[in-house]
Amino acid sequence: MGGITTDLRTGLAFCTRLPVTAPDHANLAQAAWSFPVVGALVGGAGALLYWLAVSVGLSPFIAATLAVAATALITGCLHEDGLADTADGFGGGTSKERKLEIMRDSRSGAYGVVALIVSFLLRVAAIASLAGPGLVAAALIAAHAGARAGIPVFMRAVPNARQDGLSAGAGTPSARSTTIAALLGLLALALCLGVGAGLVAALLVAAGLIIMARLSLKQIGGQTGDVLGAVEQLSEIVILLAAAALL
């Protein structure tokens, strides 16, 4: 139980801006199994705000916007920042070195801004199209848990593009941690979306991971923390779109 608690605290400290401090002996790669658990909590918080907004008479679109904003606030825009940096680097760089340099630049360029706009619009629209807070809660929990379940898989499957940085410092998750994360993500998809829709969402996430893996290897020779953020965003979007289409 002590190890589980340590891993959960580590996952919360890394994936959110909640007032949780990681233990001094924290091992992020070891704690990677907890990412979908943390994601479920983030999705649940967004669902709660959606319910509150609808309860006071706000439209589904406004409630969906507030829900997405809440999840971004809780995570400190960690994954959104990664998406923007990845889009800028992959779109604006002419060499591997230049792409990595752009990705480290804290400023956002046109590619990054457009990527963020598209990401927010797709997520808000998908959530707003769902009929009622119950389906929204299921979709948000599934999306945030399922999206983060793919991160350890990606970290293990794709080598680091550089020897320093967030992803390189975290290390490679073990096969056990990766498997647990994947199973938790699949469980969340099945329980929240149903077996059929959950399977479709899982296949879409898998396809997205393969596409991002091939793209990252071609563009920069591997993955970075920014790429992991982009992976989470892509997975979150496709799960919400699957929920909007199938629920």
DSSP, residue by residue, 128-177: HTSSSHHHHHHHHHHHHHHHHHHHHHHHHHS-BSSSSSHHHHH-PPPHHH
Cβ–Cβ < 8 Å for 148, 206: no
Rounded to an integer, what distance in angstroms lies between the CA atom of residue 239 and that of residue 247? 11
- Contacts of residue 66, defined as CB under 8 A and 6 or more positions apart, other chains included, come to 49, 50, 53, 58
Give the N- to C-terminal CA distance of the chain in Å, as an integer: 37
More confident residue, 169 or 67: 67
Rounded to an integer, what distance in angstroms lies between the CA atom of residue 77 and that of residue 65? 15
The predicted model gives 121-144 an average pLDDT of 97
pLDDT of 3 reads 78
Q: How confident is the model over 200-215, as pLDDT tens digits? A: 999 999 999 999 999 9
Confidence (pTM): 0.94
The predicted model gives 121-135 an average pLDDT of 96
Q: How confident is the model over 29-65, as pLDDT tens digits? A: 889 999 999 999 999 999 999 999 999 999 999 999 9
pLDDT of 1 reads 64
Q: How confident is the model over 138-165, as pLDDT tens digits? A: 999 999 999 999 999 999 999 999 887 6
Does 247 have pLDDT greater than 90?
A: no
Q: Which of 15, 16, 229, 247 is nearest to 139 (CA)?
A: 247
pLDDT of 154 reads 97
pLDDT of 121 reads 98
